[in-house]
Copies of this chain bind each other. A is one copy, B any other.
Amino acid sequence: MFLNRRIWIVLCTLGVAFGVPTEIVESPDSVNSTLEYDSQFCHPLVIGHRGASGYAPEHTLGSYALAALMGADYVEPDLVITKDRRLVARHDNELGLTTDVSLHPEFADRYTNKTIDGKQMSGWFTEDFTLAELKTLRAVERIPNIRPGNSRMDGAFQIPTFQEIIELIKGLESSQNRIIGLYPEIKHSTYFESLGLPMEQLVVDILHSYGYQGSHAPVYIQSFEINNLKRLKRMTGIRLLQLYDSPDMTPFDQIEKENAPTYADMATPEGLAEVAKYAYAVGPDKSYIIPRDAENNLGEPTTFVHDAHEAGLKVHPYTFRAENAFLPTDCRNKMYPNLSSALGNLAAEITAYFNAGIDGLFSDQPDIPVRIRTGCLRNIN
């Protein structure tokens, strides 16, 4: 546990190359060693949400590199798919929100209306573009009013493929001399499968091909759906995380089932025990852990973390953001409390969650949790 980082990297490489086969890693006995594995990272784990999306347009190589260089343990790409079955990183398959596609007259006829996970959407969609076409677009900031500093980089980056992200992280692992993990989310699984573009096997294949195998690999795969996680459990030993949307919602792949569970159902001790059968960890909206009160301040913690731990699950809530627009009232910038883009005291909000016993978190400003956590086994450069 206190070995030099170089030694850990060597061990990890050996582990990847000669490690325990998937089947055995999935056995209950392997959980302890997995827990030990994560202790090589600092605690709680810091996941750079969409990279360091508080500082650069989300899901760009620039954003991921900033997150890694700020000391994030993991970087989080959201994955969608192209017409020619290439995995690329966007939060949505709709491209108008985060690219300059609307300025490309050659793609004007791709503008269309779709129903995705039950929601009506208008725009341009990744599944209607080849990768070569997507590569002619440029990323822009999603929320320019809240992040004008990010908008300065509009046009500077392309849409990255998952492979390019893995290559970037491998290069940074080498230069930073530490393990940097990947935390991909499979978006709209059922929707893409209905188009004949299922993503799960592609995600697993590329991860396995880069040597990420078993629960010791520094990877989590996340989804808001259930069935695909259960399928993934049979396809790979890589750790899986069940995401939780609003309590009243039902995972999209479940809605046609009788007695389909809501996320609230899945957050009960019984629901968590069911999730623990296929997932290693849960990723709830942070309000599952500390709800806000009537003044939009942090209230009393719920039993969610305790219940999840009882079920044997790690807890990695989302999303911690430093701008006033997202903060509890008490944490807002004192000088500019009404300016949505002003940075407030995210450290205070995060500290409350650390105290609530979380095991990791997703943050758009990963430098902040990295700096305030204690008990790190490694130095951050």
Contacts and interface: CB of A to CB of B under 8 A. Distances in A.
Contacts of A70: 62, 156-157
A370 B149 CA distance: 20
A164 interface: yes
A153 B65 contact: no
A171 interface: yes
A322 B154 CA distance: 13
A189 interface: no
Q: Mostly helix, strand, loop or mixed at chain A's interface?
A: helix
Contacts of A381: 61, 158, 160, 164
Contact of A65 (B65, B156, B174, B371): B65
Interface in A161-175: 164, 167-175
Interface in A15-64: 54-56, 60-62
A367 B153 contact: yes
A152 B149 contact: yes
A381 B65 CA distance: 14
Specify which of A54, A148, A168 lies most central, judged by the most chain B CB atoms within 10 Å of its CB: A168
Contacts of A176: 168, 171
Interface in A158-200: 158, 160, 164, 167-177
A150 interface: yes
A343 interface: yes
Contact of A157 (B69, B173, B175, B365): B69
Nearest to A177: B167
11 contacts: A55-B152, A55-B153, A61-B381, A62-B69, A148-B149, A149-B149, A149-B150, A149-B152, A152-B343, A167-B175, A171-B175
